[in-house]
Chain A
């Protein structure tokens, strides 16, 4: 508005940007340095571009204690996508059912779904493990993903969106003879497109960044996610090849950051409007 530059605001924002950029730059630079030099405490902000080959090495060969990074990235991507699409699918259906239909025990069903908000994995570690083992889901890909698909947040968000749809629209669709399926497909899903996109971002990041759940149910190294792999690579810090840890961390950061960046507008809107 005013012609003068707002220096205090610029200073605060620039410091904030640096607070995030410096560690990530250090990660990028460090990944190209000599591991022996890093262990001696000679980490620096200046990358050594001759050593970019480390990315090829970790992708195809991995590092001590873990398999190749491309494989772990694939497991992470599979997990993130399965959770994102699975959650969106079952949540849209259940929100549709509790909003547009009347059936016996409808509110009971709604409350059962709602209550899962209060039971994060972290508070029921042991019993969930024993259920998983009773169902023979330990060390399987379905075991890694299916239990994380049920959650109330997405259902609540869709319910909120559906409740806000004007009655006239619903009535018009019925006059046109739209059955329940066509109404869902041709009206509800297009109307909720922005929410769908935002949820996809949130759930993809959530799935990609999981740590505790894969740690519990997947001890088989072929099911290591990239996040699990990185913590394994750090290990006890005795023989850590830090350049490889850093290269793997850079690769692990790329997909979720890319998803957030590409869908930034929808993501911010959906996150703040849906409250969580």
Chain B
């Protein structure tokens, strides 16, 4: 889409885009280019000389069982976080879409958690599930269920999934409720008169109309789970015990910032960039379609 009415001259507009272009070039394009370059180099053990090694870092990466484990773990983690937060948000949005008393208050009470920082959601879940100080965690151990996410990898994974999914419910709720409200009441009413009831009506009439929103949210949730949960994981488990909760972003951070393995860390960054590009492309293809409706 283009605008027909425009101002003449091009000195002013160039000046206007300059600030953003300059920041983008310096803080996005240059580092991204460097990541691609250093993903194809390797430093000697003393860090004095770097040599060009082509795609060797990538070959190493994809034959490294630790990396593949981390990738598999990230997939499970992202799928679980997205599924849990979307399903809970869908149940809440469906209920909040009804004409019930106090719904403005309910909505308000479900929207404010959008403001909670991922790192602080970690603190909240420590208070609930920490084996010694956590309200529920301490109680579990007292009644004889061994609960310690600091030692048990499965429990650690469960813990980071819960804390990450919890934080994302509000965001999904806002979008799903808006999606539900945009479904014409006449359609729902017609289905009701035809005798379509409860869950059947939801599955056959409402859900298909809500699918564009759901699909958009799936992508957003996957990206959230893959990248923005870094503080949650770091505050809860630091990626441990062992490597039980080491997602790909935690691994990039650990290999690059802590172990200073620039070649491998850059190769991992490039792989992640490729993943984001694919997800963004899918999302925009779909958004373009919806915009055209």
Contact yes or no, B133 A39, CB < 8 A: yes
B117→A93 contact, CB < 8 A: no
Whether the pair A125, B99 counts as a contact (CB closer than 8 A) is: no
Picked from A27, A106, A162, A212, the residue with its CB within 8 Å of the CB of B230 is: A212
Question: Residue B132 contacts which of A41, A147, A246 (CB distance < 8 angstroms)?
Answer: A41
Give the residue name and chain of the B residue nearest to A17 (CB): B109
CA distance A91 to B17 in the complex (A): 8
Tell me the complex Cα distance, A276–B119, Å.
21
Contact B106 A94 (CB under 8 A): no
How many B residues, CB 8 Å from partner? 97
Q: How far is the CA of A137 from the CA of B10 in the complex (A)?
A: 33
Most buried by B among A45, A125, A171, A249: A125
CB-defined contacts of A104 to chain B, threshold 8 Å: 10
The SS class assigned to the B binding surface is: helix
A128 within 8 A of B: yes
Verify B128–A26 contact, CB threshold 8 A.
yes
Q: Please name all residues of chain B whose beta carbon is closer than 8 Å to the beta carbon of A39 when the two chains form the complex.
A: 132-133
Contact in complex: A94, B117 (CB < 8 Å): no
Give the residues in chain A near B38, CB-CB below 8 Å. 126-127
A101 with B7: in contact, given A38-B133, A122-B249 (CB under 8 Å)?
Answer: yes
Inter-chain contact A102/B132, CB cutoff 8 Å: no
Given A9-B98, A26-B128, A27-B123, CB of A103 within 8 Å of CB of B28 = no
| Chain A residues packing against B (C-beta within 8 Å) | 1, 5-6, 8-10, 12-13, 16-17, 19-21, 23-24, 26-27, 30, 38-39, 41, 43-45, 90-91, 93-94, 96-104, 106, 109, 112-113, 115-120, 122-131, 135, 146-147, 149-150, 155, 162-163, 167, 170-171, 174, 180, 183, 205, 208-209, 211-212, 216, 227, 230-231, 234, 242, 245-246, 249, 252-253, 256-257, 259-261, 264, 268, 271-272, 275-276
Which B residues contact A (CB, under 8 angstroms)? Answer: 1, 3-7, 9-10, 12-14, 16-17, 19-21, 23-35, 38, 88, 91-92, 94-96, 98-101, 103, 106, 108-120, 122-128, 132-135, 138, 166, 169-170, 174-175, 178, 216, 220, 223, 227-228, 230-231, 234-235, 249, 252-253, 256-257, 262, 265-266, 269, 272-273, 276-277, 280, 287
Apart from the given pairs A260-B115, A272-B174, 20 other A-B contacts in the complex at a CB distance below 8 Å: A10-B95, A13-B92, A24-B124, A27-B127, A39-B132, A90-B19, A93-B19, A112-B24, A118-B277, A126-B256, A126-B262, A127-B38, A131-B27, A131-B30, A180-B7, A227-B117, A227-B120, A231-B119, A252-B120, A260-B112
Closest 8 CB pairs of A and B: A103-B10, A101-B13, A150-B23, A209-B117, A211-B231, A256-B115, A127-B31, A97-B16
Chosen A-B contacts, 30 in total, with CB atoms closer than 8 Å, are: A6-B100, A13-B96, A13-B100, A13-B110, A16-B109, A20-B109, A20-B110, A23-B125, A24-B124, A26-B124, A43-B134, A44-B135, A93-B17, A98-B17, A100-B3, A101-B13, A124-B273, A125-B256, A125-B269, A126-B257, A126-B269, A127-B38, A131-B27, A131-B31, A205-B114, A211-B118, A211-B119, A230-B120, A231-B122, A256-B115
